[in-house]
Structure 1
Amino acid sequence: MYSNRSLSRELSLISLGLIKDKGNFKLNNFQIEEIVESALDSLINHCRDELDNCELDLEDASQKILESELQEGVDSSFSNVRDQLKKSLKKIETVMNTLSVSLDFPKLIVSSGQIDIREDVNQRISNIINNLNSIDSNIDEAMDGWRLQRLPRIDRDILRLAYVDINYLNTPIAVACDEAVNLANKYSDTQGRKFINGVLRRLQTVKLP
């Protein structure tokens, strides 16, 4: 199930992508709210695109099942199609969980059950934009000769969110790293995921007192 904290991290990541990552600027609460609303729209649209892709995968798998049933000696072929169908169904389940929470978010934001998501997103974004130079400097210390600014924007923001989790929100390091890896698996590429994993392991050495 898509947890509230996981959703708030993903919304924070999308929101950060809508903000310039330069120091010495401030955003008021109203501006942050507008950015979060745009991020929510982006997440919903992303989920709908994923659902469309899942539908195409299912249609393709169903067609192959029909074709295999008309052939003789299709045990191995049918097994492959069955595996493909299982993967598609699993993907649909994940996307549906995300979409369900996201679509309910605007309606439930005023309720006690969902207000924590908005507050959590605002807190994460505020911590980053108000302490950007310090956060980036400390992450640089864990980058073993590299600099954060050389990474793609999405990878920078994933690391920043992990750093805020560990050093500002008192999230257990293992949880913060797992969540960052999940975001990297969804939004980064293979090289970015490997690099993020390495930096996360070293982030523990720059944890603020």
Structure 2
Amino acid sequence: MPPRQQPRSIARELALLSISQIKTSPSKLAEQDLEDLMLGAVRTLTSEVQDILETASAETKRGEERLLSSATRSNDLDSAKLMVSDAIKLTQKAINRLGTAIEIPEFVQLSNQEKVKEYAIAIIAAVKENRQYIEQYIEEVLVAWQLSRLPKIDQDILRISVAEMLYLELPIRVAIDEAVELAKRYSDDEGFRFINGVLRKVSDRIKKEKLPVNP
């Protein structure tokens, strides 16, 4: 079975995409409907698509303006081509995000819904209840960097992975692998490599401190 079709993998993805949209207090999260989680996930992806398309539009406009003024300057022509190429890549990314948004209800339906809901809520609750400690834990392994400077999706992937290690008894190696898979789907090459590196350092620290978590 592909990882994404497993209930916990789907729940993890659902938690990642809906966590910023769910405003319910941790004590009331158990009452959250699965439909609310899916709606939150779709809203997150829709917002991201809008941002991506706005950036792509701006790049296209800049490229067009550069092309119009590049008749006698080859450097301008090369930069214009690069801008248009970037705009095309961004548009493709937006299309992929739309495809993911459309798939969310289906891939939740294909799995055990109650298991998906329970684990997604467990992840969200663990992050919300322990956010300050989780962020401090991540910050302390970052070298010359700050969590707040990372893309929001990368921040949430890190928070979820550390929460699963520390509070949900997910084996460290599984938590890292799952986080990397999420990063490959929602971040970029640089992002998933960075996330992998940070979580390896978190793993080393957990082992050094001999915290009671699964290896």
Tell me, what secondary structure is at the counterpart of 2:15?
Answer: helix
Identity of aligned residues (%): 21
Distance 2:107 2:178 in 1: 25
Deviation at 1:46, TM superposition (A): 2.3
Distance 2:10 2:80 in 1: 32
Figure out how many residues of one structure are paired with residues of the other and give that number: 189
Match of 1:99 in 2: 98
The answer on 1:123 being equivalent to 2:149 is: no
Once the two structures are superposed, the pairs formed by residues 26-175 of structure 1 within 5 Å of their partners are 26-28=28-30, 30-68=32-70, 71-72=71-72, 74-106=73-105, 108=106, 112=110, 115=111, 120=116, 123-129=119-125, 144=140, 157-163=156-162, 167-168=169-170, 171=174, 173-174=176-177
* Distance change >3 Å, CA 134–CA 59, structure 1 → 2: closer
| Aligned residue type for 2:19 | L
Deviation at 1:89, TM superposition (A): 1.2
* Distance change >3 Å, CA 161–CA 48, structure 1 → 2: same
Pick aligned residue for 2:19 from 16, 33, 57 = 16
Deviation at 1:15, TM superposition (A): 2.0
Distance 2:199 2:20 in 1: 20
* Distance change >3 Å, CA 62–CA 116, structure 1 → 2: farther
Q: Which has the higher contact order (CA 8 A, sep 6+)?
A: 1
Deviation at 1:121, TM superposition (A): 6.9
Distance 2:124 2:89 in 1: 34
* Distance change >3 Å, CA 42–CA 57, structure 1 → 2: same
Deviation at 1:81, TM superposition (A): 1.0
| Aligned residue type for 2:202 | L
| Aligned residue type for 2:64 | S
Distance 2:83 2:114 in 1: 37
Deviation at 1:202, TM superposition (A): 2.3
| Aligned residue type for 2:78 | S
TM-score calculated relative to the size of structure 2:
0.60
Distance 2:32 2:174 in 1: 27
Tell me, what secondary structure is at the counterpart of 1:168?
Answer: coil
Gaps in structure 2 of 5+ consecutive residues: 208-212
* Distance change >3 Å, CA 60–CA 134, structure 1 → 2: closer
Tell me, what secondary structure is at the counterpart of 2:94?
Answer: helix
TM-score calculated relative to the size of structure 1:
0.61
User: What does the per-residue CA deviation read over 1:111-155, in whole Å, with 9 as the maximum and x for residues that have no partner?
Assistant: 53xx47996575243244268767976776665499xxx966x67
Contact 2:42 2:101 in 1 (8 A): yes
Contact 1:162 1:180 in 2 (8 A): no
